[in-house]
Each structure stands twice: as structure tokens, then as C-alpha cells.
């Protein structure tokens, strides 16, 4: 199997295995008393039959909940939008050899700053307000991640540590902002609503639910990232630094400048994820706006193999699972089953080596190496 | 008299007979029906290019691998060697290229390690250990100070310790896998004396090398291997380096590149009072000054680790300079970035191609792009122009004979020699005015070495100034127009290759300034004995 196919096959395998394991769990936990006939043997087979049909209904519910109707699709796509961007943020970092765990904090900072601007520009026309707010959010996320990049380049501080710490700082800053100076109303800590001009136009709506142009922005960003990674000198530099910083430096690439820049871009994407949530979905900043979507970016980048297209599909998969899980819950399967599925997928994708070994690809690769060597 | 192939009845006179040895690795037939006949008491050399299967054959003999087919007779007795323990029992000892010694322990402790003499309390008896080791070293003329710690002694002595270790375990047949790769010429000569001593005492030695002059100097018989097969067996008295080289490579090779005399032109690289620190913060380059001219190869000879790496990295802009000045074609590049330095016309074949020279996860064409990925014609307005890159890469891998000729193949899947050809091709394609060349042929086989040497000479003839660093004296001698000898960050002297002997250069590499070496020689002129510096 070629390398390209393996990159698709591994996540697919992971999904299939995860669904299989989830099926076994659902079979066991199904609360479906079958009719009792008094005959143990018959009861047993009844149980089996009933449980399998329950499993079938569970998956059907999940699928329909995620993709079965326009409404379901819309919900999936709404959830997908920020996940694409945080996935791209983390994936871009991985490409350059940095592990940005801080997308959560960058997303929060981006959303907060963009919202502050968006609240304070009433009357500005849309074509000014929207770009200004988006750029603000990206800048805020970029600066936040850039701090970690700078620390790494100048002092060698590992980005995993510094971005985790920056996550906490961001979390405290944003929580404070929406409980004190920037708070409004009561109940959930939240900011005032943003100016009308800063609201993203709506692409599609059903009753009170609406899908904004945010998804278009996210897909466009994925496309731009693809171009950068595969078609530009800058992408070449990013990948060279990611694979072998020594060779990159030898080839005249400024490794520390590249590190800071990569981190900043990664953070800008995460910041944009938060910004679109505010401008296109909530129309304000909530303390719970990010709620783990930054961390989801890590899983999505892994499942999507750091490829922009892969990241789009991975986001669709994860958001589909989540949207579908609501429906599944109605027929009695706990929502958490989806968390289990997601965890198994990530585990298997991250443990790619394991899959490779099971499939024997490592051995074949060595064979190829050997042939190449002996041919020389 | 050609090489005598013994009948089974003669096997008792042979320390080792290996018959029809086959070893198949998943992808390579490393040994293909190999026969080896080693007389008792001789020094038997095995020569062959990298990958010929020499180490595999020896590992089979030492029990590290089991053969797929074939028989091994030790001193006439068919022996099944299932592991190193059994090999040791059969009297076989092996000195690997990488020593397996414990740094903080003394020589005596290292030698007895694993089979320590015990006193009546069953504790380690250091006195007895030292006594045994001293006896051994007397008997075989392997002089060592048993109380020195391994980390404080030079590699040449460490190697003796390894040999003593095998003797301590009762070895009668010693396998030495490329023992001279880490030694200065003097240390190598001393090793040869030791080996002769050992055979005089009845030991048998199997000596692996790819240096033909060593084979000629020390061995009695030689077995030549190529691609897993034996391609020749000959008594040393009846062969020549040229013939051996042809058997190794399977075709005619030029042992020394031919090189026309050439007048050097203007200075291209001028280094003045340079100070550079190594990674530990110690001064590695101490106040060096030199000039490389157009159309000349300036060779720097020296044992690895005497500041050559730091010097080259400093010039290339990869390492900070503490003091001093570097000029490239008249421009000050002391504090320039690697990119600016490259743009001014300096290219660089790095010492460690895996670390600096290539990105192994990149395909060949991307590696050929490295360093020029932002320049026309390969880049326009920040976009890569893949068509131009492909064409250039195809052209280069054809011109430099990179095999297999696939530009889409990942660099990690190329063999070392082909990776090096790719790097050399890329660096030459810069059309540099000055080139840093560090260990250009390390780990390559004769065919590739010849090719790279000719390429470098071609550059020189075209007027490029080259600074060559190599641990291979042979290479320094055959390529350089001038030679500087480096020891602990300083130059011990300068000479032209025709005006200095291997012996003089060796002494200078061990730390005696060349002027002094020559003075001593002049003083002792007439005497046949030459001074030896204990390293
Ligand atoms: N453990 C191993 N597994 C697979 N291939 C090996 C192994 N050891 C050696 N080889 C291959 O066998 C061939 C012979 O190697 P080796 O005996 O080390 O050659 P030499 O010592 O003559 O340079 C080479 O092609 C090498 O890549
Ligand atoms: Mg070997």
C-alpha cells in the first residue's frame, strides 16, 4: 500500500475498530428486557436478537441525528466550523515540529478580543466591521501563541509546557473579563451582544437555528493552508524545520524565526476559531465559548494526519458523532458512548505504529529500503 | 604460488574453515556460499567494499548470527557456534569497531570484567586481577598501565585493552573488524607490531579492513569479498593494491585521482585569528588563520575531534564565533547568516549528512531544492515552481549517478553513497566560488569515492577554492594542494603533499609541531630509528 493510501487507511481503520468496540459496549448495556418464555435457551436467543436490533437502531439514530436531515446536517456543520480551524491550528504546528497544546487558550483570547472590538463598533458597515473583527481575533490568538514560540526560540522553553501555562492564563483572563468589566446580564458569565455590522451573514437557517458564513471561511482557510504547505517556499521551510531543524539551518532557513512564525500562525487560526463562534453563532463572548474545542483540535489534527483535507473530514466525523449522539440518547444509549468512540479513534491513530505493525507495513517498508540499498 | 585451497584432511592445520556459508537477511543475501580458509598462526585479511558482507561473516563466526547453510571447522573440528559464549569457549575473540568498555573503570577492571578473579572470601581480588593483566600484557607485548581509567586513555590504547580482554578469555583466534578506522598512522603501526607479536606467540588473526595499504603491510593471505561472494583469495606476496582494488570493485579503478599541477589564484576564503567554542563551551578552535585560494584544495588533516567540525561550522555560519574574522571573496562574513554566506558563493558538503545534509523524510527532489527553495528559477513570488525543480533534480541525479534514479523517492530510502552523491550534486550545482568539504567519502565504497574525488578535482580545476577536512589521510594526500595539520584546535604545521611523509604527518596529528618533528629527524639523521611519541 502506498504511503498516501496508508494515510487514509489508518484513520479509517481506527474508526471501524472504534465503532466495533462501541457496538460491543452497546450490546452489553442495552436495557431491553426481551419477552420471557421460561425456556433459558429461547430466552438467550431472544436476548441476542433484541440486543442486536437495539444496536441497529442506535446506529441508525446516530446517523440520522448527524446526517439524516437538513436540520441534522446543519447542526453538524455548525459544530464542525471551529473544529476545522483548531484542527488546522494544531496540524500546522505539527507540520513544523511544534506541539501547540494551547489552541484552547488562543481560541479564547481571539474570541474575547474580537468580541471586545465587535461590541464597540456600532454603526460600522459590515464590510469593514467583519474583517476588522476577524483580524483582531487572529492577531490576539497569534500573539498569544507567539509568546510560546518566542520563548522556545530564545530560551528553549518547551512549547508544550508554555502553551499549557498560557491556557490557564487565558482562561483566567477571559473568565475575569466576562464576570467583571465586560459582563452583562445575569446567569452565565457573558459579554454584551456584538454590533449588528459584526455579525456574520447567515448562509442557511431552519426556524431558530442558523448556519453562518463561518463554515465558508473555515474551508477557505483549509484551502489556503493546503496551498501554503504544498505550493510555497514558506511551506517548504515550515516542513524542513519540522523534519530536521539542523538541515534546515544548514540550508539557510532561519529556524527560530520560523518557529515563532509557525506558532503565531497556529495561534491565529485558533483565534479565528473563537472569533467565528462569537461572530457567527453566539453573537457574544461566553465564558464557556471554547469548552474544549481547542483541545479537540489535537485529536482532529491527528485523525486528519495534519493534512488540510483530512482535517476537514476529521472535523466532520467528530462533529457528526457528537450531533448524532443526541439522537442516540433519546433511544437510551448514554451520550458518553461517543466520548468512548472518539477516544478509541484517537488512541488508534496516535498509536499508528501499532496499526502499522499489525498490518505488516513496517516490514514491507524495510524491504523496500533494502532493495533500494542493494540496487545501489 | 597461488592460494592453496585445503582438502578436508588438511583442516587440522587451519584455525578456521568456513564452507558454503549462506546468510540471507530479509532483503539482502549478505553471504552467498562463502568459503574462508584461515591457516593457524597467520594474519588473514578480509577486504571488500562496504556492504560486501565481511562483518556478517565474522558475526556468524562469533555466533552473533546463525548461518542458513554452511559448516564451520575450528582447528579441524566441525563446530556449531550458537552464541558468543560458545565462540569464546572455542577460543574465538572479537574486537568490534565500537569498543565495549566501561569508562570510569580501570584497564585491569575492564579486562577481567565478567570473569573476575575472586579471593578466599569470594570477593573481587583486584590484586590478582592486576597481576594477571600485567602477565598477559608482558607475554604479548601489549603495554598498558593497568591502573589508568579507560576514559583517560587514547583510543589506540583502548583497542589494546579490547585485545587483552579477548586474550584474557583465552582467545586463540582473534577477529578484528576494521580496527584501524579510529587510529592515527602511528597507532596503526603499533597495532601491526602487536598483531605480529600475537602471531609469533601462535595466535591466529582475522583482520578486516578496506584500506589496501594495510592489507599489503600486515597480512599473509587475503580473501576479497564483493556483494556477499568471495571474488578472490591470494597470498599477499603475489598481489598488488591495484589488483585487490579491482577484485573488490569488479572493475578497473583509479586508486589515486590524477591531478594536474595548477597555479592557485586569488584568495577566496580568508580566516583570521578565529576562536570558536564547542558545544560544551570549551575552546575548540584556537586562533586559527589561513587562506584558501581559487583553484586550490586546502586539506586539513587531523584525528577526529580536534576542532575540525567546529571550524567548518563556524565558517558556514552555523556556529558562533568568539573572536576573529572570516572573509569570503573580500566580504566580511564573520557574523553573516548561513543564507547570506551561501548567497555570496560558499557551498558546503557537511560532515554528517544525516544531521545537516538532508531531510530524510523529504523526497530526493525536495532535498535537491534545499537552500535554493526561495530563489529563482525554483521559486517565484513565494510559490514553488515544481516543474523547474523536477527538471533540475532529474538532471542532477542523472549527472551524479544517483541510484535508483527516482526523484520522488524519499531520501531515507537511498543508500549512504547515493545520499552523498545527491548532497554533493546539490552543493556543486550552486556553482560556488568556495566550498567546504567535510568527510566527503565517509562510509562510501571505492567506486563512489573515486567518483566524488574526481568531481572535487574538477571543481578545483574550474577555479573553485576548496577547504577539505578528512580523517582519511589517503584522501587528504591525494586531493590536497596544501595540507594543514590540526591538533586540539591549533595547526601543527603546513606542508605540500609531496614534501611530507605519512610518518611526519602522523606525529604532527598526535601533537608535535611539524617544525619540531623535522628538527628531531634532522638530529637523528643517519640513525635508522625514528622517534616515537607515546600518544
Ligand atoms: N542485521 C542485519 N539485517 C539486515 N541486513 C543486514 C544486517 N546486517 C547487515 N545487513 C546487510 O548485509 C549486507 C552486508 O553487510 P556487512 O556484513 O555489514 O558488510 P561489510 O561489513 O562488508 O561492510 C549489507 O547489505 C547490509 O545492509
Ligand atoms: Mg562491516
Q: What per-residue confidence (pLDDT) applies to B534?
A: 38
How many CB atoms are closer than 10 A to CB B364?
A: 27
- Kindly identify the ligand whose nearest atom is closest to the C-alpha of B64: 1
- Longest CA–CA span in chain A (Å) reads 81
**To which H or E segment does residue A95 belong?**
helix A70-95
Q: Are B101 and B158 in contact (CB under 8 A)?
A: yes
Q: What per-residue confidence (pLDDT) applies to A366?
A: 42
Cell 565517509, residue? B442
Q: What per-residue confidence (pLDDT) applies to B529?
A: 44
Ligand 1: residue of B24, B27, B30 to mutate (most ligand atoms within 8 A of CB) is B30
User: Residue B360 and residue A254: Cβ atoms within 8 Å?
Assistant: no
Residues 6+ away with beta carbon under 8 Å from B119: B125, B128
Q: Are B23 and B65 in contact (CB under 8 A)?
A: yes
**A231: nearest CB among B384, B409, B414:** B384
How many CB atoms are closer than 10 A to CB B256?
A: 11
- Within 13 Å, how many C-alpha atoms sit on residue B362's CB side? 28
Residues A99, B156: Cα–Cα separation, whole Å: 45
The 10 Å CB-count burial string (b at 16+, else e) for A292-302 is ebbbbbbbbbb
Q: What per-residue confidence (pLDDT) applies to B256?
A: 63
Cell 580458509, residue? B37
How many CB atoms are closer than 10 A to CB B430?
A: 16
Ligand 1: residue of B28, B31, B445 to mutate (most ligand atoms within 8 A of CB) is B28
Q: What per-residue confidence (pLDDT) applies to B533?
A: 38
Confidence of residue A367 (pLDDT cuts 50, 70, 90): very low
On average, the pLDDT of chain A sits at: 88
Residues B297, B292: Cα–Cα separation, whole Å: 8
Strand partners, B437: B349, B468
The closest residue, in CA terms, to atom 5 on ligand 1 is B25
Residue B481 phi/psi, 5-degree rounding, is -90, -35
User: Residue A370 and residue B356: Cβ atoms within 8 Å?
Assistant: no
Residues B173, B167: Cα–Cα separation, whole Å: 9
Question: Nine-digit cell at B258?
Answer: 590524477
Ligand 1: residue of B22, B29, B56 to mutate (most ligand atoms within 8 A of CB) is B56
- Longest CA–CA span in chain B (Å) reads 83
Q: Which residues of B touch A249 (CB under 8 A)?
A: 318, 338, 356
Residues B210, B472: Cα–Cα separation, whole Å: 12
ipTM (interface predicted TM): 0.82
Pairing mode of beta strands B77-78, A209-212? unpaired
Question: Nine-digit cell at B95?
Answer: 574486537
**Closest residue on chain A to B375 (Cα):** A233
Residues A228, A308: Cα–Cα separation, whole Å: 11
- Kindly identify the ligand whose nearest atom is closest to the C-alpha of B416: 1
Residues 211-240 of A with CB under 8 A from B: 231-237, 239-240
Q: What Rg, from alpha-carbon coordinates, does chain B have?
A: 25
Alpha carbon B220 to chain centroid distance? 23
- What sign has the CA pseudo-torsion B488, B493, B498, B502? negative
Helix (H, G, I), strand (E, B) or coil at B323: strand
Q: Tens of pLDDT along A204-239?
A: 898 888 999 999 999 999 999 999 999 999 999 999
How many CB atoms are closer than 10 A to CB A156?
A: 7
Residues A363, A368: Cα–Cα separation, whole Å: 9
Helix (H, G, I), strand (E, B) or coil at B486: strand
Please list every protein residue whose CB sits less than 6 Å from any atom of ligand 1: B 25, 28, 30, 48, 50-56
The closest residue, in CA terms, to atom 4 on ligand 1 is B25
Q: Tens of pLDDT along A346-362?
A: 888 777 666 666 666 55
Q: Tens of pLDDT along A252-288?
A: 999 999 999 999 999 999 999 999 999 999 999 998 8
How many CB atoms are closer than 10 A to CB B339?
A: 16
Q: Tens of pLDDT along A274-329?
A: 999 999 999 999 988 998 999 999 999 988 989 999 999 999 999 999 899 888 88
Measured CA angle at A64 (ends A63, A67), to 5 deg: 80
Nearest Cα to A50, choosing from A334, A332, A335, A321? Answer: A332
Distance from CA of A361 to the nearest CA of B (A): 14
- Ligand 2 centroid to Cα of residue B16, in Å, is 19
Residues 6+ away with beta carbon under 8 Å from B351: B308, B309, B312, B438, B439, B442, B469
Interface residue of B24, B340, B345, B373 to substitute, partner A, most A CBs within 10 Å: B373
Q: What per-residue confidence (pLDDT) applies to A2?
A: 60
Q: Tens of pLDDT along A38-63?
A: 788 888 888 888 888 889 988 899 89
**Residue A282 per-residue DSSP state:** I
How many CB atoms are closer than 10 A to CB A362?
A: 12
Q: Cβ of A248 under 8 Å from any chain B Cβ?
A: yes
Q: What per-residue confidence (pLDDT) applies to B143?
A: 86
Residue A309 phi/psi, 5-degree rounding, is -65, -40
Q: Are B307 and B493 in contact (CB under 8 A)?
A: no
Alpha carbon B165 to chain centroid distance? 24
**A232: nearest CB among B361, B384, B404:** B384
Nearest Cα to A92, choosing from A305, A303, A250? Answer: A305
Alpha-carbon distances of B75 from B33, B43, B59, rounded to whole Å: 21, 15, 18
Residues 6+ away with beta carbon under 8 Å from B300: B308, B311, B467, B468, B469, B470, B476, B483, B484, B485, B486
Residue B298 phi/psi, 5-degree rounding, is -100, 115
Q: Tens of pLDDT along B363-398?
A: 999 999 999 999 989 999 999 999 999 999 999 999
Count, in order, helices (H) and strands (E) of chain B. 17, 22
Strand locations in A169-239 (E): 202-206, 209-212
Residues B435, B34: Cα–Cα separation, whole Å: 43
- Ligand 2 centroid to Cα of residue B32, in Å, is 16
Q: Are B289 and B269 in contact (CB under 8 A)?
A: no
Measured CA angle at A193 (ends A191, A198), to 5 deg: 120
- For chain B, list residues with pLDDT below 50: 527-535
Residues A272, A108: Cα–Cα separation, whole Å: 10
Q: Residue A304 class from Cβ within 10 Å (0-12 exposed, 13-18 middle, 19+ buried)?
A: buried
Q: Are B160 and B101 in contact (CB under 8 A)?
A: no
Q: What per-residue confidence (pLDDT) applies to A306?
A: 92
Residue B301 phi/psi, 5-degree rounding, is -95, 150
Nearest Cα to A104, choosing from A145, A147, A76? Answer: A145
- Ligand 1 centroid to Cα of residue B61, in Å, is 15
Q: Answer whether residue A376 shows pLDDT above 60.
A: no
Alpha carbon A139 to chain centroid distance? 20
Q: What per-residue confidence (pLDDT) applies to B519?
A: 85
Alpha-carbon distances of A60 from A66, A67, A80, A325, rounded to whole Å: 10, 10, 21, 11
End-to-end CA distance of chain A: 24
**To which H or E segment does residue B268 belong?**
strand B267-277
- Ligand 2 centroid to Cα of residue B48, in Å, is 9
Q: Cβ of A244 under 8 Å from any chain B Cβ?
A: yes
User: Residue A239 and residue B362: Cβ atoms within 8 Å?
Assistant: yes
Amino acid at each position: 500500500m502506498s504511503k498516501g493510501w496508508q494515510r487514509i487507511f489508518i484513520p479509517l481503520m481506527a474508526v471501524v475498530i472504534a465503532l466495533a468496540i462501541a457496538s460491543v459496549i452497546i450490546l452489553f448495556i442495552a436495557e431491553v428486557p426481551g419477552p420471557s418464555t421460561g425456556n433459558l435457551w429461547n430466552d438467550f436467543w431472544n436476548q441476542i436478537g433484541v440486543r442486536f436490533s437495539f444496536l441497529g437502531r442506535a446506529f441508525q439514530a446516530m446517523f440520522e441525528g448527524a446526517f439524516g436531515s437538513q436540520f441534522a446536517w446543519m447542526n453538524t456543520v455548525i459544530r464542525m466550523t471551529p473544529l476545522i480551524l483548531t484542527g488546522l491550528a494544531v496540524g500546522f504546528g505539527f507540520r513544523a515540529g511544534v506541539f501547540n497544546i494551547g489552541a484552547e487558550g488562543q481560541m479564547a483570547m481571539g474570541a474575547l478580543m474580537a468580541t471586545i472590538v465587535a461590541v464597540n463598533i456600532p454603526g460600522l458597515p459590515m464590510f469593514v466591521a467583519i474583517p476588522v473583527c476577524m483580524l483582531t481575533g487572529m492577531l490576539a490568538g497569534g500573539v498569544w501563541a507567539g509568546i510560546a514560540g518566542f520563548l522556545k526560540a530564545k530560551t528553549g522553553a518547551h512549547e508544550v509546557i508554555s502553551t499549557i501555562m498560557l491556557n490557564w492564563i487565558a482562561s483566567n483572563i477571559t473568565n475575569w473579563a466576562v464576570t467583571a468589566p465586560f459582563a452583562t446580564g445575569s446567569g452565565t458569565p457573558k459579554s454584551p451582544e456584538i454590533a449588528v455590522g459584526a455579525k456574520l451573514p447567515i448562509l442557511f437557517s431552519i426556524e431558530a437555528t442558523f448556519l453562518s458564513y463561518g463554515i465558508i471561511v473555515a474551508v477557505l482557510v483549509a484551502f489556503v493552508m493546503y496551498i501554503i504547505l504544498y505550493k510555497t517556499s514558506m511551506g517548504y521551510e515550515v516542513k524542513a524545520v519540522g523534519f530536521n531543524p539542523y538541515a534546515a539551518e544548514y540550508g539557510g532557513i532561519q529556524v527560530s524565526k520560523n518557529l515563532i512564525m509557525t506558532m503565531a500562525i497556529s495561534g491565529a487560526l485558533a483565534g479565528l476559531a473563537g472569533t467565528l463562534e462569537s461572530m457567527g453563532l453566539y453573537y457574544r463572548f461566553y465564558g464557556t465559548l471554547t469548552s474544549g474545542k481547542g483541545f479537540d483540535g489535537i485529536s482532529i489534527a491527528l485523525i486528519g494526519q495534519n493534512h488540510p483535507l483530512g482535517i476537514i473530514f476529521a472535523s466532520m466525523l467528530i462533529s457528526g458523532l457528537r450531533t448524532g449522539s443526541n439522537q442516540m440518547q433519546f433511544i437510551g444509549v448514554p451520550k458518553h458512548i461517543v466520548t468512548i468512540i472518539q477516544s478509541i479513534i484517537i488512541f488508534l491513530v496516535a498509536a499508528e505504529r501499532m496499526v502499522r505493525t499489525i498490518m505488516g507495513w513496517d516490514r514491507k517498508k524495510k524491504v523496500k529500503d533494502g532493495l533500494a540499498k542493494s540496487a545501489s | 604460488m597461488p592460494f592453496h585451497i585445503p582438502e578436508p584432511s588438511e583442516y587440522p592445520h587451519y584455525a578456521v574453515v568456513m564452507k558454503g556459508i549462506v546468510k540471507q537477511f530479509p532483503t539482502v543475501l549478505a553471504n552467498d556460499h562463502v568459503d574462508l580458509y584461515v591457516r593457524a598462526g597467520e594474519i588473514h585479511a578480509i577486504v571488500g567494499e562496504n556492504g560486501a558482507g565481511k562483518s556478517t561473516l565474522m558475526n556468524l563466526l562469533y555466533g552473533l548470527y546463525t548461518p542458513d547453510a554452511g559448516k564451520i571447522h575450528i582447528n579441524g573440528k566441525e563446530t556449531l557456534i550458537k552464541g558468543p559464549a560458545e565462540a569464546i569457549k572455542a577460543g574465538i575473540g572479537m574486537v568490534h569497531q565500537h569498543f565495549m568498555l566501561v569508562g570510569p573503570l580501570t584497564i585491569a577492571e575492564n579486562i577481567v570484567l565478567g570473569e573476575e578473579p575472586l579471593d578466599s572470601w569470594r570477593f573481587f581480588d583486584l590484586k590478582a586481577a592486576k597481576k594477571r593483566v600485567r602477565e598477559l600484557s608482558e607475554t604479548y607485548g601489549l603495554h598498558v598501565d593497568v591502573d589508568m581509567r579507560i576514559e583517560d586513555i587514547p583510543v589506540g590504547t583502548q583497542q589494546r585493552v579490547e585485545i587483552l580482554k579477548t586474550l584474557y578469555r583465552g582467545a586463540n583466534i582473534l577477529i578484528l573488524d576494521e580496527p584501524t578506522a579510529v587510529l592515527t598512522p602511528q597507532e596503526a603501526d603499533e597495532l601491526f607490531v602487536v598483531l605480529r607479536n600475537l602471531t609469533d606467540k601462535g595466535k591466529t588473526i582475522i583482520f578486516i579492513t578496506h584500506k589496501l595499504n594495510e592489507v599489503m603491510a600486515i597480512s599473509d593471505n587475503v580473501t576479497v569479498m564483493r556483494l556477499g561472494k568471495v571474488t578472490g583469495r591470494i597470498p599477499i606476496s603475489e598481489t598488488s593494491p591495484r589488483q585487490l582494488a579491482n577484485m573488490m570493485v569488479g572493475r578497473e579503478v583509479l586508486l589515486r585521482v590524477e591531478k594536474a599541477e595548477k597555479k592557485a589564484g586569488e584568495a577566496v576564503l580568508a580566516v583570521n585569528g578565529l576562536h570558536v567554542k564547542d558545544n560544551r563551551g570549551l575552546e575548540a578552535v584556537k586562533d586559527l588563520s589561513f587562506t584558501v585560494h581559487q583553484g586550490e584544495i586546502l586539506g586539513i588533516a587531523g584525528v577526529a575531534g580536534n576542532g575540525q567540525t567546529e571550524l567548518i561550522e563556524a565558517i558556514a555560519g552555523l556556529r558562533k564565533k568568539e573572536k576573529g574574522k572570516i572573509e569570503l571573496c573580500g566580504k566580511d562574513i564573520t557574523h553573516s547568516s548561513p543564507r547570506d554566506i551561501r548567497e555570496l558563493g560558499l557551498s558546503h558538503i557537511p560532515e554528517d549528512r544525516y544531521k545537516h545534509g538532508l531531510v530524510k523524510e523529504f523526497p530526493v527532489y525536495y532535498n535537491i531544492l534545499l537552500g535554493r527553495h526561495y530563489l529563482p528559477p525554483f521559486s517565484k513570488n513565494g510559490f514553488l515552481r515544481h516543474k523547474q525543480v523536477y527538471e533540475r533534480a532529474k538532471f542532477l541525479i542523472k549527472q551524479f549517478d544517483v541510484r535508483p534514479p527516482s526523484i520522488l523517492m524519499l531520501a531515507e530510502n537511498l543508500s549512504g553513497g547515493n545520499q552523498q552523491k545527491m548532497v554533493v550534486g546539490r552543493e556543486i550545482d550552486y556553482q560556488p566560488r568556495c566550498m567546504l568539504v567535510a568527510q566527503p567519502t565517509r562510509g562510501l565504497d571505492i567506486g563512489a569515492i573515486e567518483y566524488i574525488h574526481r568531481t572535487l578535482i574538477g571543481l578545483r580545476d574550474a577555479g573553485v577554492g576548496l577547504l577539505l577536512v578528512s580523517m582519511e589521510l589517503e584522501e587528504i594526500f591525494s586531493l590536497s594542494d596544501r595540507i594543514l595539520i590540526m591538533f586540539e584546535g591549533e595547526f601543527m604545521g603546513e606542508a605540500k603533499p609531496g614534501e611530507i611523509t605519512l610518518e611526519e604527518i602522523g606525529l604532527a596529528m598526535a601533537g608535535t609541531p611539524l617544525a619540531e618533528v623535522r628538527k628531531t629527524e634532522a638530529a637523528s639523521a643517519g640513525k635508522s630509528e625514528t622517534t616515537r611519541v607515546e600518544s
